[in-house]
Amino acid sequence: MITSASNCDVLVAGEYFCDLIFSGLGDAPRLGAEHFATGLSIVPGGTYNIALAATRLGLATRWCCDFGSDIFSTHVLDQARIDGLDLRGFRLIDGPLPRVSAAFSGDGERGFISYSAPEPRPPDLSCLRLHRPNWLLQTFRFEPDWIEFVHIARQQGASVFLDCRDGDFTLDTPGVRELLALADVFSPNAEEAMALAGTRDLDRAVALLAERVPVLLVKRGAEGALLVTGKDTTEIAPPSVEVVDTIGAGDAFNAGFVFGMVNGAGLAAATRLAVACGALSTTGTGSRACPTAEELARFAPMPAGAWAIGPRPDRPAATGTTN
């Protein structure tokens, strides 16, 4: 892990979404049928969930994200202020920039129907100089301008945690291998790993991806996670919780891992914290159940002195204004 001086623990780069979450469905929606959910929430989504999870854990977090003048941007911006997110990474665009998903969950699964404005731009390179992150945490964007952003972040001393996403791309898609080569940690879920590797054999997918990144974390939902470093694989089982909503669990997982690494937990312990953090996030709707550091400590106790909880005094408070 890179340990250069930094102004923030983690910089989250990626787009917002406004999620309409329908929960309690017995099965997946299908054409020609009407489905009634037992719950409905309107909450921020996209990389908001990662930024919120990291903030709630006490990490000094910046979220570099574009917002427009549309009602979806306005809703997410309002909620960001309520949730105490640091606003200094926000970039305001003159005009609408709608990104919205109708998310449904039931029977332990989830799905989305989404609409997004044009592909998100990477943050200005000036944000890296301004915020000097210890960790860069971003979604899987392999366009040339995003690759340049990740490359500059590494040059300036940040460790890179790459999340994955659904999409029509594989290891052979231009830019994908170049992006993976910049990652310190890559964390797809099992389906994303197999799609990226072009195989339905998870073991084969893990072997192919582990050749390209120093640390591979495979999220496996109710089965926990795989930590793969070189030829060593560790299975981390999840704790038992009463699941309400799985949306945002992967984002909480990501934040929990970075939280562990920032606080010196080590790879295996950080992965256990990630699994516990993801599990806790499923006990409520959307990202509302992301735990605080104190809640995580009670739920997943670690050996004395293994990690600190809460914001550290050498980090600025999560306040500020939009750019």
Give Cβ neighbours of residue 294 (< 8 Å, ≥ 6 apart). 309, 310
Query: What would the mean pLDDT of 23-35 be, rounded to a whole number?
Result: 81
53 touches 286 (CB < 8 A)? no
CA distance 243 to 109: 11
If you average pLDDT over every residue of the chain, what do you get?
87
Q: Which of 185, 159, 309, 301 is nearest to 254 (CA)?
A: 185
What would the pLDDT profile of 208-223 be if each residue is shown by its tens digit?
999 999 999 999 988 9
DSSP state at residue 6 = -
pLDDT of residue 323: 46
- Enter the pTM of the model: 0.85
**Residue type for 98, please?**
P
100: β partners: 18, 115
Q: pLDDT tens digit string along 74-123?
A: 999 999 999 999 999 999 999 999 999 987 766 666 678 899 988 888 99
- Give the pLDDT of residue 5: 40
What is the dihedral sign for C-alpha 206, 210, 211, 213? positive
Tens of pLDDT along 31-77?
A: 888 888 888 888 898 899 999 999 999 999 999 999 999 999 999 99
